[in-house]
Amino acid sequence: MGCRKLIAIDPPLDTVTTVEVFSTDALATSAMAGVYTLMANGNGNFPQPTSGFSMGLTTILGGLSSDELFLSSGNSGNQMYLYNTNRISALNSGASTTLWTSAYKIIYGSNSVIEGIAASTAPALHNNVRTELTAQAKFVRAFCYFYLTNFFGDVPMVLTVDFNKTRNLRRMPQQEVYQQIIKDLIDAQAALPPDYSAGQGERVIPNKWAATLLLARAYLYIGDYINAAAQATAVISHTALFGLETDLNRVFLIDSREAVWQLKQTNESSAVKNATTEGYGFNLPSPYSLTNQLLSGFDAEDQRKLAWVGSSVISGSTRNYPHKYKIGSKNGEAYQPPLEYYMILRLAEAYLIRAEATANGALGGIATAISDLNIIRNRADLDDLNEDLSQQQVIAAVAKEKQIEFFSEWGHRWFDLKRTGKAGAVLSAIPLKQPWPGNYQLLYPIPVAEIIIDPFLTQNPDY
Q: Is the pLDDT of residue 13 over 50?
A: no
Q: Is the pLDDT of residue 445 over 50?
A: yes
416 and 377 share a domain?
Answer: yes
- Percent of residues in the chain assigned helix, strand, coil, to nearest 5: 50, 10, 40
The confidence score (pLDDT) of residue 5 equals: 39
115 and 208 share a domain?
Answer: no
Question: pLDDT tens digit string along 307-326?
Answer: 999 999 877 788 999 999 99
128 to 8, 118, 125, 132, 443: CA distances (angstroms): 33, 13, 9, 6, 41
37 and 151 share a domain?
Answer: yes
64 to 68, 87, 111: CA distances (angstroms): 6, 11, 31
Query: Which is nearest to 229 in space by CA: 398, 62, 384, 411?
Result: 398
Residue 323 lies in a domain: no
Residue 145 lies in a domain: yes
Residue 35 lies in a domain: yes
Integer-rounded Cα radius of gyration of the chain: 22
Which residues have C-beta within 8 Å of that of residue 222, sequence separation ≥ 6? 175, 178
Instruction: Tell me the whole-structure pTM to 2 decimals.
Output: 0.95
From CA 100, how far away is CA 379, in angstroms rounded?
36
CATH number of the domain within which 210 lies: 1.25.40.900
Q: Is the pLDDT of residue 7 over 80?
A: no
Question: pLDDT tens digit string along 357-400?
Answer: 999 999 999 999 999 999 999 999 999 999 999 999 999 999 99
User: Where does a domain end: 420, 436, 454?
Assistant: 420
Domain containing 401 equals 198-238+347-420
Print burial letters for 420-454: b (CB count within 10 Å at least 16), e (below 16): eeebeeebeebebbeebeebebbbbbbbbeeeeeb
Question: pLDDT tens digit string along 157-213?
Answer: 999 999 889 888 999 999 999 999 999 999 999 999 999 999 999 999 999 999 999
Residue 257 lies in a domain: no
174 and 55 share a domain?
Answer: yes
168 and 95 share a domain?
Answer: yes
User: Where does a domain end: 132, 166, 192?
Assistant: 192
Per DSSP, 338 falls in state P
Question: pLDDT tens digit string along 209-241?
Answer: 999 999 999 999 999 999 999 999 999 999 999
CATH number of the domain within which 66 lies: 1.25.40.390
Backbone dihedral region of 134: left (phi > 0), alpha (psi from -120 to 50 degrees) or beta?
alpha
Contact 155, 451 (CB under 8 A): no
285 to 226, 265, 329, 331, 441: CA distances (angstroms): 45, 20, 9, 12, 29
The confidence score (pLDDT) of residue 10 equals: 47
140 and 44 share a domain?
Answer: yes
Report the number of distinct structural domains present in the chain.
2
The confidence score (pLDDT) of residue 134 equals: 98
Residue 328 lies in a domain: no
113 and 211 share a domain?
Answer: no
The confidence score (pLDDT) of residue 258 equals: 98
Residue 233 lies in a domain: yes
From CA 275, how far away is CA 281, in angstroms rounded?
9
User: DSSP letters of 3-14?
Assistant: HHHHH-PPPPTT
From CA 287, how far away is CA 278, in angstroms rounded?
13
207 and 154 share a domain?
Answer: no
Of 162-166, 410-414, 435-439, which range is least confident?
Answer: 162-166
Choice between 415 and 329, residue whose per-residue pLDDT is larger = 415
From CA 147, how far away is CA 39, in angstroms rounded?
13
Q: Is the pLDDT of residue 53 over 90?
A: yes
70 and 151 share a domain?
Answer: yes
Counts for the chain of helices (H) and strands (E), in that order: 20, 6
From CA 162, how far away is CA 124, in angstroms rounded?
26
Contact 157, 178 (CB under 8 A): no
143 and 208 share a domain?
Answer: no
User: Where does a domain end: 420, 441, 457?
Assistant: 420
Per DSSP, 372 falls in state H
Residue 341 lies in a domain: no
32 and 67 share a domain?
Answer: yes
Residue 219 lies in a domain: yes
pLDDT, average across residues 295-299: 97
184 and 231 share a domain?
Answer: no
72 falls in which pLDDT band (50, 70, 90)? confident
The confidence score (pLDDT) of residue 8 equals: 41
